[in-house]
Amino acid sequence: MTETLIILVLSPLVLMIFHIVFLRLIHLCKLDISNQLSLVLSMLFLNIPLLAGVYFLNHSLFSLVYAFIIYNCLAYSYFHFFNMSETARRIKILLEIRHKKYIVIEELTKHYKPDFMVKTRLKRLLDLKQIKQQDGKYFLIGKTLLFGAILVRIWRKVLSFE
């Protein structure tokens, strides 16, 4: 069981290294895969060797389920940490202020117009193949992010946020 815990403790580091290498390969091969999708694919792929290793060490279904839950919770946390660096306006604004030493509100509103923000999010959903555009209308085609959105909505109701 100690070996399983060591594997799980090291799994976020392995995921980060694998993700770095995978991103560099994607850019080198000029593949059209978003940074977020590359991370999701990395997370899913690493389940295979991790779970195989845990099962080989323990021959226990309980250990396998435990490792699956812990690894995917850690990977999910890393996804949100990474995604925040990719998409959060707060992060980008802070970095812009740091780079320029100061910023005025007019500069921010020039870059952060509501229609631009909506178009950016729609493009991201199109790139992730979660929606498609046809005749000026958007339709659901993917279920992955929708499932996550439903879980978040349920959690918000449980917390009395909605």
Cα 17 to Cα 24, 52, 117, 126, 139, distances in angstroms: 11, 19, 31, 27, 35
* pTM reported for the whole predicted model: 0.62
Banded pLDDT at 51 (limits 50, 70, 90): very high
| pLDDT tens readout for residues 82-141 | 887 766 777 777 778 888 888 888 887 877 777 878 888 888 889 888 999 999 899 999
Rounded Cα–Cα distance for residues 41 and 157 (Å): 30
- Contact status, residue 22 vs residue 38, Cβ threshold 8 Å: yes
Q: Which of 121, 150, 122 is nearest to 138 (CA)?
A: 122
At position 60, the amino acid (one-letter code) is: S
The burial of 4, by beta-carbon neighbours within 10 Å (0-12 exposed, 13-18 middle, 19 or more buried), is given as buried
SS3 89: helix
Integer distance in angstroms from the first to the last C-alpha of the chain? Answer: 42
